[in-house]
Structure 1
């Protein structure tokens, strides 16, 4: 049989162990609690810092005028390639290509009329005129752009597509610069040979690859029936 003293010692021993464990676990538990509180406080401060920190600048947040100014330092061939970046860049690049295509058409037409006014009316006198070579070059440029307008223009006006062959715009500008800085021009066919090939390939590519997937245009749609006045019945 176990004596009362032994039971007391056993009980005291058990109490001592429980007190010792509570003493040992107390500081560790307190340390974990303080660490968790510090971590929670740090996360709260970080989230507050992130909320107050300025957002990173984004190129697409710039106004369209500034983006167009930046793109003006690129070739039109590169601008065509940038259309695949995203929807907004595609819309901006399409606007640049379309507006440049229209501007060059008007510029060439005005220059052609200006040259014609300076040249004599007689055909024999025109051949030896100093503006004869430039006149033929400008006329060829305007004719090629007019053919492109006839192929792509109706779809560009309805926003089915944009003017996609940017290399043609680069070539036209290159020829205009050549005319401006060259005192004695070469034969017109030598100057416009590259443009002739590029425009022909562009029209063939559009006809075969792009136009079949575009919406069909009715020749007698309401767009063509909005007359400004009435036609007389008399011939």
Structure 2
């Protein structure tokens, strides 16, 4: 049942997959955990009044999971395009300029993919908030795990944004990417931590 292929590839000395792919994979796990909770709750008579919302949550989480799995490959492709520019010749001034221009263009994609990962993880956290308020205590730990995994994935993806914006010549574009990144870190991360803390209190303190 365990698919070790991606994890083994991540552990190898290959440049891809890397941190962005790892973040997307963690986010996909967070979405899967949330979907599991939703699927369990749909069949519970005690929670029949939120069954439709539960189904909608599962649909949203399934979409996020599918997208994050796509983003694993997209992140590898974006990094590969960037890395390819570093292998271009710098023998002449003209070649050096062309290489630098190619690098700067590739950095855009290398920022956009982790930002997409962050956006999906923010969606997962939003759904986790609903699940935490409308689920059985028997699956509450899974909701907390989903939220904290999504937060970790968010923060991991943010590092991939920042390492690339640091290489950008265009300060305006770099600042725009960094602002999007900070916005995605702010409220979603705080919400995820709140969910986790409340779940932990409910399990330990109630």
Q: TM-score range by the shorter chain?
A: 0.3 to 0.5
Higher relative contact order, structure no. (Cα contacts within 8 Å, ≥ 6 residues apart): 2
Which has the higher Rg, Structure 1 or Structure 2? 1
TM-score by length of 1: 0.33
